[in-house]
Amino acid sequence: MRPDVVIIGVGNPYRRDDGVGSAVIHRLRAAGLPGATLAESDGEAGALILLWQRRRLAVLIDAITADPSHPGRIHRLVVPWLQTDHRTATSTHATDPGEAIALAAALGRLPERLVVYAVEAADTGFGTHLSPAVEAAAGLVAEQVTAEARAAVQASGTKDPERPPSGRGQLG
């Protein structure tokens, strides 16, 4: 049976802060999150749509660049109210999850609820370590996503005896 919740880390873990999605997924795997599918993706539209279609909740975690840049700032967006201004904030890789969302909406393949956590990147050069501000943001995003996923799992009737962590930090 396919879980109602999928959490997708988008990006490239070999491009420093672009790997924030993968870093959050690794944290969630280490902590354990029963009742949710955890996945990593390069953001290709078809793959994302296959991961989130027919789900109650899909959560995407991705790095963005913005002007002016505030490394580590977290943006939480909920579809259908997701209105990304591509002139001021863009994905850090060639494929844009915003395009996947638009395509899925046109095809009627969005999940019931889609939440995007976008973390402003400081450095997307070659390397495997996140910058300090993005590393801290990854921890906050993992906490927030855990709370959201557990609430969705409980609402769908799947038992998860652990309480969600208290939300610390501030989302911008």
Domain with residue 14: its CATH number is 3.40.50.1450
| End-to-end C-alpha distance for the chain, whole angstroms | 36
DSSP annotation of 8 reads: E
Range of the domain at 54: 5-155
pLDDT of residue 166: 36
Q: Do the domain assignments include residue 108?
A: yes
Mean pLDDT of the chain: 82
Q: How much is the average pLDDT of 49-57?
A: 91
Q: How much is the average pLDDT of 135-156?
A: 92
Q: Do the domain assignments include residue 164?
A: no
Q: How much is the average pLDDT of 17-37?
A: 94
Q: Do the domain assignments include residue 36?
A: yes
79 versus 50: which is more confidently predicted?
Answer: 50
Q: Do the domain assignments include residue 116?
A: yes
81 versus 40: which is more confidently predicted?
Answer: 40
**Distance from C-alpha of 130 to C-alpha of 20, rounded to nearest angstrom:** 7
The sign of the torsion formed by the CA atoms of 151, 36, 64, 22 equals positive
Q: Which two tokens stand for residue 58?
A: 């899909």
Q: Which two tokens stand for residue 106?
A: 């046109």
The strand pairing partners of 62, in sequence order, are 118
Model pTM greater than 0.75? yes
Q: How much is the average pLDDT of 94-117?
A: 82
Integer CA distances (angstroms), 157 to 41, 47, 88, 148, 152, in order: 28, 27, 40, 15, 9
Q: How many domains does the chain have?
A: 1
